[in-house]
Structure 1
C-alpha cells in the first residue's frame, strides 16, 4: 500500500525518536520513497548519519534550510513532493507551533508548504501530556481534517513513570500510514456504527478439548482498523486471538468471546444500533452435544462424538436486517468459490459476500495477505488480487460505499 509513495518524516526531540528508525527502515523495505527532516533537538537523540543510512537519502536539517544552494526553496520542494507526512515524536514545542501556525524551522515551514495528510505521533511525559494547555492545543489541532493522530499510549516512560504519553509503536504507525495512503485522510464512515465479528469460535467438549478451526482473526482486525481509520465507530466481537496480534492501543471496541453462543449473544446486543455489519468470523457449525465441566480421562473420551448444530448467526441477522442496514458475510471455500458464495448470499439475505479461497498460497486462515471476489446481491462481482488484509479491508469498504451510493440514488 506504500509502494512508490513519497513519505516525509519529521523527527522531534524526544527519546522516542529511536523508534522512528524502525519506521524508516520498514517504509524503505515496503518500497516507499522516504525523506526525513531532523529538528535541532531531534539530532540530540539520533544522528543524520543514522537516518540517511536507513532511508538511503540525505537527512535534512535546519542547516540545509538556511543555505541558498537549492534550485527551489527546500521546504517548498519537500512539501510538494510528499504524499504522506509523519511527525514523530511530536513534542509539546512542535505541537504548540503547529496549533498556532508558527514556522521558525525547516519542519514547521514544510508543514505550511504542504497539502498532504499529516499523521501525528505525540510523545511526552505524563505530566506534560495532561497539562490543560497541551490538551487544548491537541484538541484544536486535531479538529483540522488534515491532521490525523495515533496515540499516545500508556506504559513505562523514560522518566520511569507509568502513564500516558508513550509514543505509538512502529508497527502501529506503519498500519496507520497504510490506511492514509489508501484514503488520503477521508473520513467517509465518520460516525457510522460498524459491527464486525472475527476469529474462530471454540466449542468445548470439556475444559481442555474443543472443536475449532485455524482462523487467527487477522482479517477481522484489518477490517476493524480500516473502518475506524475512516471514522467509523467500530465494535469487534472476536473469538480467541493470540495476544501478540491484538493492537496495543486500539481505536475501536474489542469484545472477546469463546463459543458461537457467546458470539451470537453479543452480536445480537449490538445489531440494532449498527448500520454496517461484517460477519468475518469462522463460526463453528456444530458443537458437542454434551459438555463435561472437568477434564475427561483419556479412557472416558467418547469414540462416537455426538454433535448438535449451533445457531446460524449470519442467517439470523439476515432475517432481522432492516432496509437501512448493510449485512456482509464471508464464504471461505476450496475449489469453486463463487457458486457456494452465491447460494450463501441468497439464503442468508446478505447485501454483500466475500468469496475467499482458502486453498491458495498466501490466502485464507493465518496469512498476512488475502484474495477474494466481492459479490453483491444483484450479482455484481469484483475480483480482488492478492494483497495485504488491510488493503482488502479498505477495498471492501470502498465496495460498501458504492452500495450506499446506489441506495441513495434509488431514494432520490
Structure 2
C-alpha cells in the first residue's frame, strides 16, 4: 500500500480513539494519511494527536475557512484521496451524507470526492436501531461508491450492551487494504464463493490429536477479499488462531461453519458445494488419523509405541468428482523445496482448475505468517508468480487469477 492516499473523516463519538490505531498502522505501512475532524470530534480527540499520527496537520472547520490555500480545501482533499474513511460515523453525519448536505469541511469534501468511501458507524444501541437511522443506513449502502462496515455488538461506553460498537481497527484496516486494491469495484457480485480454512485435528483420545500448525489466516483473507468484492461467501473452517475466531464473529455477512475433523469438514463442504461457483480449498487437512479412538484419556503407560494410522478421505477429489461445468475448484499446495513440480502433479491428479503452490520454508511465508507468496498455476499450465505480500493482497491476486480461468 506504499504511496496510497487515505483521507480519514472523524465525527464526534467516543470511538474516535480507535481511529488512532488505524491511522498509526497506515502510516507505518507507507500510506499517506490525512484527517478531517468535525467540531464535535474535537471534544473527544485533539487535532494535535491526529496530526502527530498522520505526520501531517489535521484539518478542521477552521482550516476550511482559511484563505491560505491556492484552491478550495475541500476540492483539493477530495481530489487527493484514493479512499475516504469515515470513522466513527455518527447518526448526524450519516443523515447529511444521505441527503447530500454539506455544512462543514467533512461533508463538503465527501461531495467533492469521487473515490470509494468506507463508512464505519458508532453510536448508542437505541440510536442505531431508530427507524430513521436504519433507513439512512440502507440508503447509504445502496450508493455505488459507499462501502460499509456495520457496527458490532458488546458493551458500549454508555454501559449499554447491544449493537452500535464501531468496527475494530483490524476490520477497518482489512477493508481499507481491499478497497485500495480494487478501487472500490464489486466485481464478484452474484458469485457464490466457498472457502475452507484452518487445520483439521484427528483425535487419538479426548486430549491428543494429529494436527498441523495452520492458523487459518490465508483462508480468512480469501473470505474477506471475496466479501469485499461483493461475493456471497461461505466459510468452512477447522482450528483457527483465537483472534481469527473473534474476527469471524464480526463478519455476519460470511456464513461460517466450524468443524474439527476431516470427516466433518468433508460433510460441511459437500453440503455447501452445489451452490458454489468457486471453491477454494485453503484448509490444511490431515492426511492420516489414528486407526482407533479412545473415549477416555489413555494413560501414558497405555500409549502405543507405534501408532496405527489410516488415511483420511480425499476431500478435494470428492468435490472434483461432483464438479459441474460452471464450477471452479482451486487447491493449495504447501511445499518445501521445489514447490511447482508437486503442485502440478496435484493439480492434474485431483482434476483442479487451478492451484496455489506456496512455500513453507521461506521467511515470512506459510503457516502462521501474516504474509505469503505463491506460484498460481491453472489447468492449462499458465503460471502467475505472487511476490511476497500480505495474505489479503495475495487473496486478491488469486481472485483475479480465477477470473481468467476458462
| Alignment-derived partner of residue 226 in structure 2 | 227
The superposition leaves residues 1-49 of structure 1 with CA deviations (integer Å, 9 ceiling, x where unpaired) of x221111011000111111111111111110111110101011111111
| Alignment-derived partner of residue 135 in structure 2 | 136
| Alignment-derived partner of residue 342 in structure 1 | 344
Q: Which runs of 4+ in 1 moved over 4 A?
A: none
User: Alignment partner for residue 324 of structure 2, among 303, 312, 322?
Assistant: 322
User: Alignment partner for residue 355 of structure 2, among 332, 353, 356?
Assistant: 353
- Partners of 1:80 and 1:242 in 2: CA distance: 40
Displacement after TM superposition at 1:242 (Å): 2.4
| Alignment-derived partner of residue 410 in structure 1 | none
| Alignment-derived partner of residue 65 in structure 1 | 64
Q: Secondary structure of the equivalent of 1:60?
A: coil
Q: Scaled by the length of structure 1, what TM-score is found?
A: 0.97
| Alignment-derived partner of residue 249 in structure 1 | 250
| Alignment-derived partner of residue 93 in structure 2 | 94
The superposition leaves residues 90-113 of structure 1 with CA deviations (integer Å, 9 ceiling, x where unpaired) of 011111110000101000000010
User: Alignment partner for residue 365 of structure 1, among 344, 364, 367?
Assistant: 367
| Alignment-derived partner of residue 300 in structure 2 | 298
Displacement after TM superposition at 1:280 (Å): 0.8
- The answer to whether the 8 Å contact 1:319/1:348 transfers is no
Displacement after TM superposition at 1:68 (Å): 1.7
The superposition leaves residues 328-365 of structure 1 with CA deviations (integer Å, 9 ceiling, x where unpaired) of 00011111111111111011110000011111111111
Displacement after TM superposition at 1:198 (Å): 1.0
Matches within 5 A, 1:55-204: 55-204=54-203
- Partners of 1:393 and 1:283 in 2: CA distance: 19
Displacement after TM superposition at 1:315 (Å): 0.9
Displacement after TM superposition at 1:159 (Å): 1.0
- Partners of 2:120 and 2:380 in 1: CA distance: 43
- Partners of 2:244 and 2:322 in 1: CA distance: 32
Matches within 5 A, 1:260-271: 260-271=262-273
- Partners of 1:383 and 1:17 in 2: CA distance: 40
Unaligned runs of 5+ in 1: 408-412
- Partners of 1:56 and 1:338 in 2: CA distance: 44
The superposition leaves residues 148-196 of structure 1 with CA deviations (integer Å, 9 ceiling, x where unpaired) of 0112010111111000011011111111100000111111111311111
Q: Scaled by the length of structure 2, what TM-score is found?
A: 0.98
The CA RMSD over aligned residues, in Å, is 0.8
